[in-house]
Every structure is written in C-alpha cells, then in structure tokens.
Structure 1
Amino acid sequence: MSPKHLSTAALALLLGLVVAPSQANAITQNEKQAAIEKITQLMTEHYVFPEVATQTNDKLYKAFQSGHFASAQDHKSFSKALTEWLRTTAKDRHLRVRANPVGEEVSGIESSIRDNLLKPARHKFLNYGVLSASVLENNIGYIDLRSFYRLADSKPYIDAAMKLMAKTDAVIIDLRKNGGGSPRTVQYLCSYFFDEKLLLNSLYFREGDETTDFYVLDEVDGKKMPDVPLYVLTSSKTYSGAEEFSYNMLTRKRATLVGETTGGAANPGGMFTINDELRMFIATGTAINPITQTNWETVGVKPDVAVGADEALDKAVEMANKVVEANWLTEKSRREVETDRLFALLQKVRQSDKSPSDARSAYAAKVSKLVKQLPEPDRVIAEMAYEYWDKEPKYAVFLFDIAVQLNNQNMYFFAYWARALAKLNNMHQAKSVIEQGLKLATDKEDKDMLQDTLAELEQPVVGL
C-alpha cells in the first residue's frame, strides 16, 4: 500500500511515532515569543552575515509584535510562517524553520532501527544520486543525477556513469530534480570536464573566518572530457550544490544550461535547535564564484536557453544533435585528408623493394604518426595486416610491427605477425615474436592460443 492511502496515524506509526492529540501541538503566544527570542540569538551567533542577522532580528521582533504570526495556531503552521518570512526578509533560500515530530511517546532506538531496516534503502535506490546513465541515439550521453551525496559514497557511481560517457559525442547532465549536496562531490564531477587547474568556487564560513577553495582536480578515476559538448538541465527545483555545478559551468562557459531558473540557494549551513518542538537551518557560510565574485542566492542560476522543465531534455537533445552532426562533418573532412595521406604512404611501402628491416627504418615512424591521427589506430593497421598476411607477408610484417607498437595487449597481433614471418621462411624471428607475446600475455586463453600458433608453425610442411 502506498503512503498516500495511509491514515495520518498509520503513517506516523510507520515512522516509529505515536500521534498525540491535536491540541498537544498547539502553540501559545508565550511559546512563540520564546521561539523568536531563540531564533534571534541563533541568528546573531551563527548567521554568515552579522549585519543581515541584526537587521533581520530587528524586523522579526517588530513583525511579531504587529501580529504577523498571530494566525499560526500550531508549531507546524508557525514554522511555515517563520520560514516564509525569514527567506523573504533575509533574502536567503536556505533559511528555514521546521517543526519536530510531536507526540506523547517516541519509540526507542531498537524500534527505530527495525523500522528503517524494513523500509526501502533510498540511498541505494538512487545509487547515491546517480539515478540513471545511458547513451541516447546519435551517441549522446545522458546522466540523471538526483543529488550530490558525499564523495566517499557517490564516487564509484559517478565514475561508472562517466565511464559510460567516455566515448560519447555529447553529454547531458540532468539536474532538474537535484536538491544539492556535498561541495566535494560537485568539485569531483566538475573536474571530469576541465583539464586546467581552475578555481571553481569558494566557500566562506563565518566561524573561524575561513575560506575553502575548490579547484579542478588534477585526476579523476576515469577519462577527462574537457572538449565534449556539455548540456546541463535545470528547473526551479534545482537547488544548492546542483546550482553550484550549474553556475560553475555557466561562468566558465563550459556548458550550455537548458531549462528554468534554479531555486536560488547558495549559502551552506546546518540545523540548530530552537526548542523541543522547533529547529532551524541557518546559513553559516556563503559561496563566492571567482568569475562573478558573487553567487546565485535568491536570484537563482539563469539558463542559456530558457524552456519549461518538461521540455528541457528534448531541447537539449535537439541542440546536441545539431552540434554532433556539425562536429562530425568537420571530423569527416579531417579524416578524409589523413586517410588519403596514410594510404598514399602505405602504397609506397607495398611497392618498395626494401628489406623488411630497411622498410621499417624508412617508413614505420611516418606511418605510425599518420595513423595516430585516426580513431583506434591499432585496429586500422591490424585490419589491413590481417588482409595481407597470407598473400603479401612482407607488407603484413611491416603492418603488424606497427600494430604491436600501438597495442601490445592484443595477442592475435603477435600470432599473425609470426604467421606472416613464417611465410617469409623467417622461423627464427617468428618464434621470437611468439615468445615476446607469451611474456606479455596475462590471460590463459591468450597464452594457449600463442602456444597453439607456435606448434602450428613448427609442424613440417609435407609436400604433395
């Protein structure tokens, strides 16, 4: 049964609480006054901007005395009214007051643990923020990121998602339902998309008068993608750390933001106790962007392309497709030039009457340099080598030599290189190539294949 079909009492019991009569949650004028006095004390002691705290406190007293909160009859409605007033007055979207669960009895720790164990593990369900990662049509990567959980938990999931993105032609990161999280995790994901040690963001904290700088990390546990076209989806429900990621990318002109202006919560902080019934979140720090020297507090992060949240993904895919197609046409032209140059040089190798060693000295370095301009250069060379090992073994020997220099982990290169050498009656070098492969091979199947190839080559040729 879903929670929406449960009675209030039943839902409270699932949370390990016993609901008390409604009048137990009523709040008196004296309790309101005491709560406001405590709020002003906490603001004075902890709020990141002391002058704002002073101004807000003065206005809060006046608002209370003028009856602004008179309509609030219980702690829940009082906390809601306080939250709305504080956010509007202090212009801080992180400020909030919350009513604690109210009841005559709170279950013991054993009951609470039991209830938690019998609930779905939400952190695991969300893969510590990485809800999904996929490759869309036209090789466009997509990550639906719902939170920036602490880096120790989320890092393996982020790395796995980014591994899937490694060979895509564009990446879309969906933050439309992301409420924020750890600045360390924001820093880590940002670092995948930069190869320079840039300052991304700074956090100033009033306590200790300290500033922490967050730079692009030199290394991530995956392939950095500093040039991939990047799109970030935002909505009015994009908050805090998710806004920082968006703002970092926007101010560094590293990504195109698509969607709605974000929620506007830039000041980090923590929860403080007002009394047994109320607690509040107070911003104890503030974000400082190195480009703008300010942040997105209250105003939010405005996207490059403003569309409704429901339309943002389709719009980003449309934009990415155009960029991918344009980039491919440019890349195709470049490859045509490089391929023609490569094949022209290889034709000289095929027609050369030089010995294999002389051909290697004359042409190998030039061919290797040209083929490295193409994707998967070892595969390009090996495909030609496989085609010619039997009918033009001298040419194949030249090609396999280069293929192994490019990738010495493919044991089939060694096997067919040896076969081509055997075709040239150079058994000594053929065996040397197999031995070289055996030293490098780590997989039993590869070792067995090389041993079988050696046995095949050592068999005497029986004439007819």
Structure 2
Amino acid sequence: MKKILAGIFFFHSLISYAQSDHTKVVLSDITEKVKNNYIDKEAYKKVDSLFQNESKKGSFNHLSKKDFAALLTQKLRININDKHFFVKYLENYSPQKAVDEKEREKENNFHNSLENFGFENIQRLEGNIGYINFKGFASPESSEKTLAAAINFVANTNSLIIDLRENGGGDNDMLLLFCSYFFDKKTDLYTTYFRNKDKTVINSTQPKTSGQKYLHKNITILTSKKSFSAAEGLAYFLQEHKLAEVIGEKTGGAANPVDHFIIQNQYLLLVPTGEITSSISHKNWEYIGVIPDQEVKAEDALKAAHLKILKNILKTGTKTELSIPEIKNLINKLEQ
C-alpha cells in the first residue's frame, strides 16, 4: 500500500513539475514579447515582477490552460492598466495547420459576412432620422459595399444616430473609411507611433467614398461601457471635430492598436504596439474612455437621442414627414 501511495505521489509530483516548467516558459516568452513590442518600453519590468510575485503565491498552480490564459489576461490588464492585453489558449493549434494570410483573410471574411460585417440594423426612425446599429469593424476590403449601402440607405434623412453600444472595435482601416463618410475632404485624424518598428504613420480620411457622403447634418453616437477600441475612435474623432454628439456611457478606454503573437504554439497574445495621437488634441482616449456630451445609462441612450433630435426639429422648424402636432405627440410618448 505504501508503495502505491508513493507511486501516486511521485506521479503527481511529475505532473506538478511539468506544469511549473510549462508555466515558466510561457511567462518568460510573454515577458520577452512585452519587452520588445509594447509601446511603453519599461512596462516589461512590471510584467516580470507581476509574474514572479504571482508564481511565488502559487496563483498559476493547478489551472487548466484555458483558465491560465484568462487569469493572465486579467492580471496584465490590471497591472499594466491597458485593456488591450489579451491571452487565449489555442486548443489543437499547430504551425503546420496554420493557413496562409490569404486563406486566413478569406475565412475571416466569411465569418464576418455571417454577421453582415457588423451592420446589425439600418432603419429610418420617425422624424426622418437615420439609425445604424453597428457592432464591429471588419476589414474595409470585405465590408466596404455593406458600409456604402448602409450610408446610402440613410442618405435622405435629416439626422443620423450611430449605435455603438455593443461595438467591441476591430479594424483600424475600417475606422478610417467609416469616418471618411462625414468629412468633405481628406483630413488627418491622428498619427500612430509603433515602438517596435520606430515608425510613425499618419491616419487620414479618404477624399472619396463608394457611397454617398453624409455631410453637414446632425449626427449622434450612442455609447456604452462595452464600446471599445475602434468604436471609441469613431465616437472620439467625430466628437472632436464637432461632427457628432455622443450620448450614453463613458467608453472602455482602449486606444492603442495591437499585434498578435503565438506563445509556445499554444496561446494567442495581443500586445498594444502602437500609440495613437490625435491631430487636434494631441491626446487619445487610452485609460480615460470617450466622455459623452450627455451621459445616460446605455439602455436609455437611444430614447434620449431620439427625444433630443425631435425637440431640435421643433426648435429649428426642420421639415419632416410628421406634422408639428405629430412630433409633439411622439415626444410625449417617448417621455412617458
């Protein structure tokens, strides 16, 4: 019996040793990636200290690889104060199975098409108000036609609501293309400095778009705590250029772009490698989030925006399909 117990103990010791060795290699690799790529060149010291302290406390012991990745994400975001850090366990990943860039892009485009490239709902609200419910920024190559169709649909409205309350961000080039629909000429919005390349890129709107531009009209953007990254960028730059009013909640606060890294052929690591700087304020929304012009709970943002636009229609005498009594009745209904 003693021999059996000793064997079991030895077996579990081997497993614990293997887990410990695996953990050390992964933590070391992540620290190295942060050191070489993160926008703050000194941040890796915090990461190294974090990992050493957590290892001593046994925080990473006896975790599944999925839970290990989730805990790393949580610790990195809190310790470095950057919500773009992300670690995910890649089950059954192997370099041999990794598809080339074109195949990966094709696969991503297919999955994005199943969600209509983020365009959840396009409609015209009472009072001739356009409404676009947009949930994610896919690549402009794949979603340009859908974006053009969405803007063309609302082209004849007097004002527009863009709902970003469930938008978690996405492609930077799509952000620029979307912004381009609201600027009458090419405009430099921001620069991005990449430390790992020692390179600065100027990010500008496009002078021409495939759809009809939406110019010189009132635009309202709805936000929530879930609005993140590129979604925050759309709200931030249109607000900053006084092209849109933001109604809702303060956003997540993730401005800086990321690069993807594979750790030990088992984990996906996202590291913010660039820093965005606005051409107007010379700042960004990192850590802070986009501050709404009118702060309300996310679930109340659409009604608040609709009411404000209707009241402005009465004030300015803007012509719509509704008569003045009909507008007043609609306002009363919304306020109840």
Per the normalisation by structure 2, the TM-score is: 0.80
1:48 aligns with 2:39: yes
Question: Among 321, 327, 332, which residue is 2:316 paired with?
Answer: 327
Report the CA distance between 1:27 and its aligned residue.
7.1
Q: Which position in structure 2 is the counterpart of 1:138?
A: 127
> Does structure 2 retain, via aligned residues, the 8 Å contact 1:100–1:278?
yes
Report the CA distance between 1:122 and its aligned residue.
4.2
From the superposition, tell whether residues 26 and 82 of structure 1 become closer, same or farther in structure 2 (CA, over 3 Å): farther
Partner Cα separation in structure 1 for residue 250 and residue 294 of structure 2: 10
Q: Aligned with 1:232: secondary structure?
A: strand
Q: Which position in structure 1 is the counterpart of 2:268?
A: 279
Q: Aligned with 2:179: secondary structure?
A: helix
From the superposition, tell whether residues 152 and 93 of structure 1 become closer, same or farther in structure 2 (CA, over 3 Å): same
Percent identity between the two aligned chains: 31
Partner Cα separation in structure 2 for residue 25 and residue 97 of structure 1: 22
1:57 aligns with 2:44: no
Q: C-alpha deviations, 1:93-134, integer Å up to 9, x for none?
A: 11111112159x9xx89xxxxxxxxxxx64223221222211
Q: Which position in structure 1 is the counterpart of 2:224?
A: 235
Q: Which position in structure 1 is the counterpart of 2:253?
A: 264
Q: Which position in structure 1 is the counterpart of 2:114?
A: 125
Q: C-alpha deviations, 1:361-416, integer Å up to 9, x for none?
A: xxxxxxxxxxxxxxxxxxxxxxxxxxxxxxxxxxxxxxxxxxxxxxxxxxxxxxxx
From the superposition, tell whether residues 274 and 25 of structure 1 become closer, same or farther in structure 2 (CA, over 3 Å): farther
From the superposition, tell whether residues 126 and 278 of structure 1 become closer, same or farther in structure 2 (CA, over 3 Å): closer
Report the CA distance between 1:72 and its aligned residue.
5.1
Equivalent position amino acid for 1:32 in 2: T
> Does structure 2 retain, via aligned residues, the 8 Å contact 1:203–1:212?
yes
Equivalent position amino acid for 1:150 in 2: S
1:303 aligns with 2:292: yes
Partner Cα separation in structure 1 for residue 77 and residue 265 of structure 2: 23
Partner Cα separation in structure 2 for residue 276 and residue 84 of structure 1: 21
1:78 aligns with 2:47: no
Partner Cα separation in structure 1 for residue 254 and residue 206 of structure 2: 25
Per the normalisation by structure 1, the TM-score is: 0.59
From the superposition, tell whether residues 199 and 211 of structure 1 become closer, same or farther in structure 2 (CA, over 3 Å): same
1:96 aligns with 2:64: no
From the superposition, tell whether residues 27 and 321 of structure 1 become closer, same or farther in structure 2 (CA, over 3 Å): farther
CA-based RMSD of the aligned residues comes to: 2.8
Report the CA distance between 1:196 and its aligned residue.
4.4
Question: Among 154, 170, 175, which residue is 1:165 paired with?
Answer: 154
Q: C-alpha deviations, 1:254-308, integer Å up to 9, x for none?
A: 2111111111211212221221332311111121112222221222212111111
Q: Which position in structure 2 is the counterpart of 1:28?
A: 19
> Does structure 1 retain, via aligned residues, the 8 Å contact 2:248–2:296?
yes
Partner Cα separation in structure 2 for residue 48 and residue 289 of structure 1: 16
Partner Cα separation in structure 1 for residue 65 and residue 26 of structure 2: 10
Number of residues of Structure 1 aligned to a counterpart in Structure 2: 297
From the superposition, tell whether residues 30 and 229 of structure 1 become closer, same or farther in structure 2 (CA, over 3 Å): same
Report the CA distance between 1:151 and its aligned residue.
0.8
Report the CA distance between 1:161 and its aligned residue.
1.0
From the superposition, tell whether residues 210 and 220 of structure 1 become closer, same or farther in structure 2 (CA, over 3 Å): same
Partner Cα separation in structure 1 for residue 156 and residue 262 of structure 2: 49
Q: Aligned with 1:288: secondary structure?
A: strand
Partner Cα separation in structure 2 for residue 311 and residue 72 of structure 1: 44
Equivalent position amino acid for 1:75 in 2: K
Partner Cα separation in structure 2 for residue 26 and residue 160 of structure 1: 57
Q: C-alpha deviations, 1:323-379, integer Å up to 9, x for none?
A: 2332335x79xxxxxxxxxxxxxxxxxxxxxxxxxxxxxxxxxxxxxxxxxxxxxxx
Q: Aligned with 1:87: secondary structure?
A: helix
> Does structure 2 retain, via aligned residues, the 8 Å contact 1:26–1:74?
no
Q: Which position in structure 2 is the counterpart of 1:396?
A: none
Q: Aligned with 1:50: secondary structure?
A: coil
Equivalent position amino acid for 1:324 in 2: I
Partner Cα separation in structure 2 for residue 144 and residue 51 of structure 1: 40
Q: C-alpha deviations, 1:150-184, integer Å up to 9, x for none?
A: 11111111111111121111100011111112222
From the superposition, tell whether residues 25 and 201 of structure 1 become closer, same or farther in structure 2 (CA, over 3 Å): farther
> Does structure 1 retain, via aligned residues, the 8 Å contact 2:47–2:76?
no
Greater helix fraction, Structure 1 or Structure 2: 1
What does 1:194-273 align with in structure 2 at a 5 Å threshold? Answer: 194-273=183-262
Gaps of 5+ in 1: 1-23, 110-120, 333-464
Q: Aligned with 1:28: secondary structure?
A: helix
What does 1:379-418 align with in structure 2 at a 5 Å threshold? Answer: none
Question: Among 169, 185, 192, which residue is 2:174 paired with?
Answer: 185
Report the CA distance between 1:68 and its aligned residue.
5.7
From the superposition, tell whether residues 281 and 229 of structure 1 become closer, same or farther in structure 2 (CA, over 3 Å): same
> Does structure 2 retain, via aligned residues, the 8 Å contact 1:26–1:75?
no
Q: Aligned with 1:128: secondary structure?
A: helix
Q: Which position in structure 1 is the counterpart of 2:278?
A: 289
Q: Aligned with 2:200: secondary structure?
A: strand
Partner Cα separation in structure 2 for residue 326 and residue 295 of structure 1: 34
> Does structure 1 retain, via aligned residues, the 8 Å contact 2:23–2:60?
no
From the superposition, tell whether residues 234 and 26 of structure 1 become closer, same or farther in structure 2 (CA, over 3 Å): farther
Structure whose CA Rg is larger: 1
Gaps of 5+ in 2: 1-14, 99-109, 321-336
From the superposition, tell whether residues 292 and 63 of structure 1 become closer, same or farther in structure 2 (CA, over 3 Å): farther
Report the CA distance between 1:88 and its aligned residue.
1.1
Partner Cα separation in structure 1 for residue 169 and residue 209 of structure 2: 21
Equivalent position amino acid for 2:271 in 1: I
Q: Aligned with 1:291: secondary structure?
A: coil
Report the CA distance between 1:247 and its aligned residue.
0.8
